[in-house]
Structure 1
Amino acid sequence: MTTTDDASNPPASPDQQRGPTPEQGSGPDEGSGRRKLSLGALGRDLGLVVALAALLVLGVVTSGERFLSVSNLMVVLQQAAIIGVISIGVTFVITSGGIDLSVGSVMGLATVWASTLATQTMAENSHWIVMVFTAVLVGTAAGTINGIIVAYGKVVSFIATLAMLVAARGLAEIISDRRTQIVQADGFLDAFRGDLLGIPVIVWIFVLVAVAGWFLLNRTTFGRRTVAIGGNPEAARLAGIKIHRHTVMVFALSGMTAGIAAVMMLARTTAGSSTNGYLYELDAIAAVVVGGTLLIGGRGTIVGTVLGVLIFATLTNIFIQNNLSISVQALAKGAIIVGAVLLQQRFAARSRSS
């Protein structure tokens, strides 16, 4: 028999059992929770800034004053720019709880497709923007395919993007016949190989993409939904978020950034090749994880990703300046990645216990 208390206090619904949904507030504790989150993010970013400053000091000590010369710093920024743009897209995917292993191959495919004789002829007869549009379209299409396979095909993102990694690289080899395609469109090269206020154009592109990515993740519904899906997909679904459609959009965004990076690669190397972007996906994931984005999803930081990219670019430059082997570089990167993951696990354990 149902008592009066039972009637006035019915069992909690699934939404209530999971706490506030992503579209709802959390009452009086919401402000304090957000303050704790912002303070934690600030602490992580300050730690990355300190690490970057320490690397700069190390570079000066080991390589002398030439390390801080304007020309060398521009080299570091150009090295960081291409992988940085890719990392922005990967940040969204990992924040949503997925992974994208195909961005390097997709970038290579986009460079090949945008530098074919047919594409360059169209660019010369009309406008160089044709090459940009082609690269971005190829990247976005590949990312959309990834998203459809993951969202509607119910394939784990690791497997889906691994398949795209292989397929995109193979298609690039078929299109180029395993040959390097030289960019000869003068308008394209003039637009992207120059400087603006003494800073290379591709660095400015990185800055613009980073700012746009920060705004999208932190100041829009799209960003909030991305975080919500990564944190608790079922709660996000119950809150009315169309998870499948959003997943497709997130992977399409990752592919689009790979296409933008392809434009930057063509500008920097003046060559489209199926080998472009080789293992870039690993560098991007490493920068994202070191930057503080959780591998399990639910938390992402564009500022941290940018700092992570700069840390790895600076570290690589130090190794090159001191003539250290690639094997030593790989060993150091591996140690940094493991350390970052261990710190993530420690912070996650503290947040659960608090």
Structure 2
Amino acid sequence: MSLEIERNKSSQTKEIAKHILKKYGIFLILILLIALMSILTPHFLTSTNLVNIVRQMSIIGILAIGVTPIIITKGIDLSSGSLIALVSVVVASFAQGDSIMLPILMGVGVGLLIGLINGTLVAKAMLAPFIVTLGMMTAARGAAMLYSDGRPIGGLNEKFAFIGQGVIFGIPVPVLIFAFVGIVTWVLLNKTKYGKYIYAIGGNEQAAITAGINVSRVKMFVYSYAGLLAGIAGIILTSRISSGQPQAGVMFELDAIASAVIGGTSLFGGIGTVGGTIIGALIIGVMNNGLDLLGVSSYWQQIVKGAIIVSAVYIDTRKNRQKK
């Protein structure tokens, strides 16, 4: 009898441990990574460096938050990095005078327009998201080069620089914008009907159609929203570097997708959280910063990042197979 009780206790302990790892595993990985980097380099765990990490990854984090609802619906967005470049040169060209609102509106407008085009082609023309956004990735980069004649655009007014370089109560403005975007998107996914529709479409699109959900409208919304956030990220980047760069945002889309997947967003759809995506972005930010401080070559950093992405997708695939 006592042996049976011990077995039950052991089984319960294992179940509790599995539940904790499933729910908080990604957060524990972040803590362990921070601890490791703190041991390897004394320059890592300083207030200045930690703030710098969050400031640097805020742009990728905003992109990642935008791509999360898309991946939940079993879509993908490969155009966000190139869209940042297009937004950057457009914003810079309108930030030459005294106006701050005009370049902001132009940046948000360009991002929203490109996202709407992506969503329309995916939802209405029934084209594969991979093909649509791959084509837009090339087109947006070409448009950025054409608009700027392949050259950086400088001469931005000093007031505009506050968006990317300013500080409010000791917190960098990009971090505050990142936090605001995270809160808004969390509310969207968890407290609105659109959030329920997004998860329903990712879980079973045919069942969502049968339930009366306007799938096309929801898909257009998530791609437009991702474009809007890419526009905001492009504004922040332009303000931070004080110029419009047609070569900006290279590989940013992969970091954004990696952040979402590492954070638990399933490429098979129906699963994903804003909190997980933010932690995924922090993991990439901590890793990049720590490896830079250790003097590791950027080439090796790309290899490590690639291995992490593949590992995350492998784990996601295993989980999906187990459910079946």
TM normalised by structure 2 equals: 0.91
Please list the CA deviations of residues 190-209 of structure 1 after superposition, one character each: whole Å capped at 9, or x if unmatched. 35421112111001111110
Q: Give the aligned partner of residue 106 of structure 2.
A: 134
Q: Give the aligned partner of residue 349 of structure 1.
A: 321
SS in 1 for 2:277: helix
Q: Give the aligned partner of residue 23 of structure 1.
A: none
User: Are positions 1:63 and 2:38 aligned together?
Assistant: no
Q: Among 4, 8, 27, which residue is 1:49 paired with?
A: 27
Q: Give the aligned partner of residue 120 of structure 1.
A: 95
Query: Is the radius of gyration larger for structure 1 or structure 2?
Result: 1
Q: Is the 8 A contact 2:263 2:278 kept in 1?
A: yes
Q: What is the Cα deviation at residue 348 of structure 1?
A: 2.1
Q: What is the Cα deviation at residue 239 of structure 1?
A: 0.8
Question: Aligned pair in 2 of structure 1 residues 192, 316: CA closer, same or farther (>3 Å)?
Answer: closer
Q: Give the aligned partner of residue 302 of structure 1.
A: 274
User: Are positions 1:97 and 2:69 aligned together?
Assistant: no
Q: Which runs of 5+ in 1 are unaligned?
A: 1-38
* CA distance in structure 2 between the aligned counterparts of 1:42 and 1:292, rounded to whole angstroms: 14
Q: Is the 8 A contact 1:45 1:303 kept in 2?
A: no
Q: Give the aligned partner of residue 84 of structure 2.
A: 107
Aligned counterparts, 1:222-301, within 5 A: 222-301=194-273
* CA distance in structure 2 between the aligned counterparts of 1:240 and 1:275, rounded to whole angstroms: 43
Q: Which runs of 5+ in 2 are unaligned?
A: 1-16
Question: Aligned pair in 2 of structure 1 residues 144, 192: CA closer, same or farther (>3 Å)?
Answer: same
* CA distance in structure 2 between the aligned counterparts of 1:82 and 1:334, rounded to whole angstroms: 20
Q: Is the 8 A contact 1:91 1:305 kept in 2?
A: yes
User: Are positions 1:87 and 2:59 aligned together?
Assistant: no
For 1:54, give the aligned amino acid: L
* CA distance in structure 2 between the aligned counterparts of 1:40 and 1:179, rounded to whole angstroms: 53
Runs of 4+ in 1 over 6 A off after TM superposition: 39-42
Aligned counterparts, 1:17-28, within 5 A: none
* CA distance in structure 1 between the aligned counterparts of 2:211 and 2:51, rounded to whole angstroms: 46
* CA distance in structure 1 between the aligned counterparts of 2:18 and 2:147, rounded to whole angstroms: 48
Q: Is the 8 A contact 2:268 2:320 kept in 1?
A: no
Identity %: 38
Q: Give the aligned partner of residue 168 of structure 1.
A: 140
Q: What is the Cα deviation at residue 183 of structure 1?
A: 4.7
* CA distance in structure 1 between the aligned counterparts of 2:162 and 2:195, rounded to whole angstroms: 35
Q: What is the Cα deviation at residue 45 of structure 1?
A: 4.7
For 1:305, give the aligned amino acid: T
RMSD: 1.6
Please list the CA deviations of residues 2-38 of structure 1 after superposition, one character each: whole Å capped at 9, or x if unmatched. xxxxxxxxxxxxxxxxxxxxxxxxxxxxxxxxxxxxx
Q: Give the aligned partner of residue 4 of structure 2.
A: none
